[in-house]
Amino acid sequence: MAARRRGQKPLAAPDLCPLSAILRHTATMNLSTRPLQYRTSAPQLQGLAQPTRRPLLSSALAALAALMASAVLAPLAASAQPVAWPKAQPIKLVAVFPPGGSVDQVARILQPALQQHLGQAVVVDNRGGASGSIGTGQVAKAEPDGYTFAVVFDTHAVNPAVLPAIPFDTRKDLASVAIIGTGAMLIAAHVDSPYKTLGDVVSAARTRNGVPYGTIGNGSLGHLAVSLLGRAHNLNFQHVPYRGGGPLVNDAVAGHVPVSIGSVFLLKPHIDSGKLRALAVTTSRRVAALPQVPTVAESGFVGFDSPAWWAVVAPARTPADVLRQMNEALNAALRQPDVAARLAGQGIEVRGGSMEAARSFIEGQIDTWAKVVKDNDIKAD
């Protein structure tokens, strides 16, 4: 560098902080502190304020200072936002029935969509037994850190009344996240059985020998629905409870149990394959996936309506922001055309909605079925 000439002022060091330079510069200026007056006139600018007067230089400097200040503060604000899943470990989605049943299938339909919306690995973990209460109990006692959720079935609301010894409180120990959907249950018979209609089954149930029927377990809505039907019309049904939909289907398809009742989701594939015969659906309306199958009400039992449902729950003390994000991800998944189509194709009507709506629905179901169980003295077999 050439030597500095005599008398020349030394060069100033470059300012490495533009914001501090702006602030120093504005401090030397006489900026007006007169309150600004605003007016709006054009219809397209309603709600927007426009200053009537402002010194051009002070306006520009103030805007630039505010912009740079926000650039400094924004990263701090972003870092203050809670991170729902800070660890790389996968989220566990517990299916509270064994593989092969509707709960397992619903969980596996949701799993890839949840991974996409959450940006976090999701794994399905089957924990079946005792009408879903074993898996649900494990979730109720799990660490409430946002890494454990469960897909439950309608038995979730019936178990407190039918299985009073379950080691958790369904209302207090679990948080309702979302209702996935509702759907009909289907009464079916093995294709080689003598039962061609629900009327045939009812006629056989009026005899001394009665009719054995299989369900996914004690306290399932299938169990309660047939119990109610039998008590109301003095029918002799013999309950054969299984440890979930998978084991039930295996015996139903093999002909080991002549009549079975399960969700349309569970039994429809075997109706389609010709191994089972559909007799009736338990909802008040026919099911779009099986339009030719009559309702129980159409078969002579007016007013009969007993739908199934699926929901996602979590440990009760799971952080609120985690529950909210999972609820949002579930609703986003249910809005995906491929997810909705796969569920609808198996007779499930997608619900979704808020956590508050899910809690209200489930608590209403608990109250309803507790009264049914008590009034009809229904016991676990």
Look at residue 69 and tell me if it is in a domain.
no
Say yes or no: 95 and 179 in one domain. Answer: yes
Query: Do 179 and 189 have their domain in common?
Result: no
CATH of the domain at 221: 3.40.190.10
- CB-CB neighbours of 339 under 10 Å: 19
CATH number of the domain that 358 lies in? 3.40.190.150
| 189 and 129 co-located in one domain | no
pLDDT score recorded for residue 353: 98
Q: What string of DSSP letters covers 91-123? A: EEEEESS-TTSHHHHHHHHHHHHHHHHHTS-EE
Residues in the chain: 381
Q: Which of 230, 263, 281 is the last residue of a domain?
A: 281
- Asked if the structure places residue 67 within a domain, the reply is no
Q: What is the pLDDT of residue 258?
A: 96
Per-residue exposure over 256-289, b if at least 16 CB sit within 10 Å of its own CB, e if not? ebbbbbbbbbbbbebbeeebbbbbbbbbeebbeb
Residue 60 counted as domain residue: no
Whether residues 175 and 146 fall in one domain? yes
Per-residue pLDDT, 55: 46
Do the domain assignments include residue 219?
yes
User: What is the identity of the amino acid at 254?
Assistant: A
Range of the structural domain that residue 204 is part of? 185-281
Whether 176 and 103 share a structural domain: yes
Going by C-alpha positions, the residue among 192, 130, 119 that lies closest to residue 156 is 130
In a domain, 52, yes or no: no
State whether 260 and 272 are in the same domain.
Answer: yes
Which helix or strand (DSSP H or E) is residue 249 part of? Answer: helix 245-254
Give the burial class of 158: count Cβ atoms within 10 A of its Cβ; 0-12 exposed, 13-18 middle, 19 or more buried.
buried
- How many structural domains comprise the chain? 2
Contact predicate 295/304, CB 8 Å: yes
- Does the pTM of the predicted model rise above 0.75? no
Q: Each residue's pLDDT tens digit in the chain (381 positions)?
A: 444 444 444 444 434 343 344 334 434 444 343 433 333 333 333 333 344 444 444 444 444 444 444 444 444 333 333 457 878 899 999 999 999 889 999 999 999 999 999 999 999 999 999 999 999 999 999 999 999 999 999 999 999 999 888 999 999 999 999 999 999 999 999 999 999 999 999 999 999 999 999 999 888 889 999 988 998 899 999 999 998 899 999 999 999 999 999 999 899 999 999 999 999 999 999 999 899 999 999 999 998 888 999 999 999 999 999 999 999 999 999 999 999 999 998 889 999 999 999 999 999 999 989 998 998 788 777
Residues 358, 179 contacting (CB under 8 angstroms): yes
Domain-located, residue 7: no
Q: What are phi and psi of 154, to 5 degrees?
A: -60, -20
Quick one: 171 and 226 in the same domain? no
pLDDT of residue 83: 54
Of all helices (H) and strands (E), which one includes residue 161?
A: helix 155-162
Q: What's the longest Cα–Cα distance across the chain?
A: 124
